[in-house]
Structure 1
Amino acid sequence: MTEVLDATDSQTAMIADLVGSLRAVEETIARLFAVRDGMLAVASRVAIDIARRAAHPDHGDIALRAVAAEIGAAVRVSDRTIERRMDEASWTVERFVEVWAAQGAGRISAAHARVIVDAGAHLDDPADRARYAARAVEAAVVESPNRLRRVARRIAEQYQARTVTERHRDARELRRVWVKDLDDGMAELGMLGPAVLVHGIHDRLTRMARTITRQGAQAAKASKAMNGDRGPAIESPADAPTPRTTDQLRADLLADIALTGAPAGHDTETGLLGEIRARVEVTVPVLTLMDDDTGGHNGGSRTGAPPAELDGRSPIDTDTARHLAGQATGWERVLTHPITGALLAIDRYRPTDQLTRHLRARDQRCRFPGCNIAARRCDIDHTHAASSGGETCADNLAHLCRRHHMLKHHSRWRVHHRQPGDLAWTSPTGTTYIDHPPEQNTVRFTDSV
């Protein structure tokens, strides 16, 4: 890290020039991708027009294939890939013209555009779709694509004609499990199911895997202590345990549980793994719990309250949210401003560490610009180091993932707090980037027009 800390003024200036040049290159790439989409959309439209004029019975399928094959041969790309690109380009150019225009102007990247289009794909009303696209583009200008995904979903949810509960009831009918055969004697097991259950499964497997890893490390330490001066225990290669990654342990545990009904092949004598239960975090406005869940926009809520959200990622149906609320052993109550929706405070009926809960509710994810690692997987860091007199308070603490926590301490990146909850990051080149806390999933009251 000392190489970055000891950079000369000329090296710092060179980095600044490179950053500016790369930004210009990215804007140019975005414009070129938009130009390509426009050409592909025109090619698709011409193919359809040819088929329509000739009254082709396949409604243009062969004409599209023929044009895609011509383009594919010219640019040395599979005609199937070209046909897929033509379809995606037509969808963007014709249904999300605001997004296409923003990309063409270099304001957003192709990745931003794809996130916006995917999140609003089910909006059928042109006026609602245009309003959604305009708001999503403004969010995309200041957010990375991975952060934009949750923001775009929230915005799109406000223009859904049907409630999330109604859509979830239909979507549940599509739940399934499938197998895809792969090479080398491997296969892939997939599952489509309610988000709460799928995330709960993943969380339980992860915590089981970490418990096994922790127990292995403790056992190795204890074995080393018992051997003392006799040196390390002699262990044959055949008996030596093979280290497993968290991904490998999750896969092994899932197979163990699915085949035996319990993780019998991994559990301890005391049944420690069997006691681990799935855990998810759900935020739900109290008015959503009280609402009769009938109506139009804003997820269909009669009161205008947004739907419940799973881990700040995606909306979940109100029936599931109410069931989880009724079964919860503890509540974290998030108090928000009735007009701005900003986080005011958080408390709990069964108090634990109130400040930690407040920070998690405020930050929701890593506070470095563009990072979307969930807060529960991050470190809580003193912006002004405690060793230098920094206070342990909300105005001096923020969640940072391990990568950006180390970047803050071992590079020339600097950060300080701004009100309310904003973090100002200054790069080694002197450029300042502002990271705002995510909007709270709450109700806002405004004057009627």
Structure 2
Amino acid sequence: MTALLDATDTQMATLAGLVASLEAAESTLSSMTAARDGLLAIAGRLAIDIAKQGDHPDKGDHSIRTIAAEIAAVQHVSDRTVERRMMSAGMLVDLFPSVWAAQGAGRISAAHSRVIVDAGAHLVSESDRAAYAAVVLRLAEAESPIRLRALARRVAQRLAPSTMTARHRTARAQRRIWITDGEDGMAALHAHVPAALIHGMFDRLSQMAHALRTENLRAQRDAAREGREFITDDRTVDEIRADLLVDLVLTGAPAGHDTEDGLLGEIDARIEVTVPVTTLMDVGGGADDAPGDGPVPGSEGRDGSTTGRAPAAELDGVVPIDAATARILAGAASGWDRVLTHPIDGRVLAVDRYRPSRRLRRHLRARDQRCRFPGCGVTARKCDLDHNHAASSGGETCESNLASFCRRHHVLKHHSPWHVAQGPGGVLEWTSPTGRTYIDAPPVPNTVTFTSSDGVRAPF
């Protein structure tokens, strides 16, 4: 431990005061942002009321633009920006009033509210939105926005009036490519296409980039050993990834980067899909000829929702994908991990495979799903496994003494006064330099749990 090692008691007391003050300031900012959203929502309603008085055929569009321009002029921002803010504020205030109230009370931030509204925007009935908000607000008060996003999507999926397959079919019709111009002769290319394709594209580019870096280092060592001159490739992995994408799109193959033996062309994409077996099976008979995407009798979500709809499959435990795509991916996979969860409380029991390898590592990756430092959302497959109680001082290499930390928080644990202890069920208790404690529980698995016919959990 090196960070803050030389801090005096006075300095630590100052730090504790700063943390408390920033906590209060953030709560105040959340309240003020909620107040602004309320005013913007009123402005939007005013525009529509004015339009109705004249029975305008544009249904208030020009009235909204006019009022947005008035607000934008006094705030010195674009009227398009104000119009977007008015629309977002209207959705928050009118469709999710309990979420708006929680933000106004400083219990959640504006970022939490945006996540909740985005994930639940497709819920049609007021009762479904209220049930969704009641569940998600409890999660929002304990999780960061980046972690909340996946949880909110799961809750919304269980209450959705239509299946993930039906919504995905509609969303696919909106796929597109567009450009935004940047500074210094740069621009960004954006692609809005199915998530499985995007994640697969990124993973394949990453594998190619790392393969090139490894090959470059090997050639550099060989040249140094043989006394030959060698031109080093100083590009970062990000730069190589970008160059490969351009190369692939413009030439149809990584011809400008591939090795002599065609190494890059042989690399396949890897993506991680979490899918409950009830979604793979023809259980519930989902709508739109999508078995496995419909309701599952007697099931309920770990998040508290009880409609019984089979959960959508997820990429890296975050991005939902439709059941049809999940079944295609599962059927085409050369091998996949089976995560066994308890049918009542949903906790991860074990991870196995036809040919087991690194069993404990796979189990912990399935349990943790992401970095276990409070608020961090880096996926577990990109994290280090760390002994909570150091192996050098007798800590066991077992499930109850290991957790996934991204490199940033792994280093923080070892080189700062932050301490962590693991309790039953993989629950971590972090203690900060100022003595505050933060609890981080393993995320809810993407699974189905069951109740008895009378709606009561079975007693085992």
TM-score (norm 2): 0.90
Q: In the aligned structure 1, how far is the partner of 2:199 from the partner of 2:134?
A: 31
SS at match of 1:21: helix
Q: State the partner residue of 2:334.
A: 329
Q: In the aligned structure 1, how far is the partner of 2:355 from the partner of 2:189?
A: 40
2:244 equivalent to 1:253: yes
2:375 equivalent to 1:370: yes
Change in 2 beyond 3 A, CA 1:325/1:79: closer
Q: Which amino acid aligns with 2:313?
A: A
Q: State the partner residue of 1:349.
A: 354
Q: State the partner residue of 1:262.
A: 253
Q: State the partner residue of 2:210.
A: 210
Q: State the partner residue of 2:428.
A: 423
Q: In the aligned structure 1, how far is the partner of 2:278 from the partner of 2:80?
A: 48
Q: 1:307 Cα shift?
A: 2.1
Q: 1:280 Cα shift?
A: 0.7
Kept in 1, the 8 Å contact 2:279–2:293? The answer is no
Q: In the aligned structure 2, how far is the partner of 1:120 from the partner of 1:346?
A: 32
Q: Which amino acid aligns with 1:393?
A: C
Q: 1:11 Cα shift?
A: 1.4
Q: State the partner residue of 1:230.
A: none
Which one of the candidate residues 413, 435, 440 is aligned to 1:435? Answer: 440
Q: In the aligned structure 1, how far is the partner of 2:438 from the partner of 2:170?
A: 42
Alignment of 1:247-396 (within 5 A): 247-292=238-283, 294-295=285-286, 300-303=294-297, 304=308, 305-396=310-401
Q: 1:316 Cα shift?
A: 1.3
Query: Which residues of structure 1 form unaligned runs of 5+?
Result: 228-232
> C-alpha offsets along residues 11-64 of structure 1, whole Å, 9 cap, x if unaligned?
111111111110000000000000111111112222222222233343323332
Change in 2 beyond 3 A, CA 1:415/1:56: same
Q: State the partner residue of 2:458.
A: none
Change in 2 beyond 3 A, CA 1:121/1:136: same
Q: In the aligned structure 2, how far is the partner of 1:3 from the partner of 1:401?
A: 18
Q: Which amino acid aligns with 2:78?
A: S
SS at match of 2:12: helix
Among the aligned pairs, what percent are the same residue?
60
Which one of the candidate residues 404, 412, 428 is aligned to 2:409? Answer: 404
Q: State the partner residue of 1:20.
A: 20
Kept in 2, the 8 Å contact 1:366–1:375? The answer is yes
> C-alpha offsets along residues 193-230 of structure 1, whole Å, 9 cap, x if unaligned?
22111101100101110111122222223333333xxx
Q: Which amino acid aligns with 1:350?
A: R
Change in 2 beyond 3 A, CA 1:6/1:160: same
Q: 1:172 Cα shift?
A: 2.5
Q: Which amino acid aligns with 1:138?
A: R
Q: 1:331 Cα shift?
A: 2.4
Q: In the aligned structure 1, how far is the partner of 2:113 from the partner of 2:265?
A: 44
Q: State the partner residue of 2:149.
A: 149
2:69 equivalent to 1:69: yes
SS at match of 1:157: helix
> C-alpha offsets along residues 102-147 of structure 1, whole Å, 9 cap, x if unaligned?
0001000000000100111111111101111111111100000111
Q: In the aligned structure 1, how far is the partner of 2:175 from the partner of 2:284?
A: 23
Query: Which residues of structure 2 form unaligned runs of 5+?
Result: 298-307, 456-460
Change in 2 beyond 3 A, CA 1:263/1:76: closer
Q: 1:67 Cα shift?
A: 2.4
Kept in 2, the 8 Å contact 1:343–1:440? The answer is yes
Kept in 1, the 8 Å contact 2:216–2:232? The answer is no
Aligned pair count reads: 439
TM-score (norm 1): 0.93
Q: Which amino acid aligns with 2:295?
A: S
Q: In the aligned structure 2, how far is the partner of 1:384 from the partner of 1:191?
A: 44
Q: 1:290 Cα shift?
A: 1.4
Alignment of 1:161-200 (within 5 A): 161-180=161-180, 185-200=185-200
Q: Which amino acid aligns with 1:255?
A: V
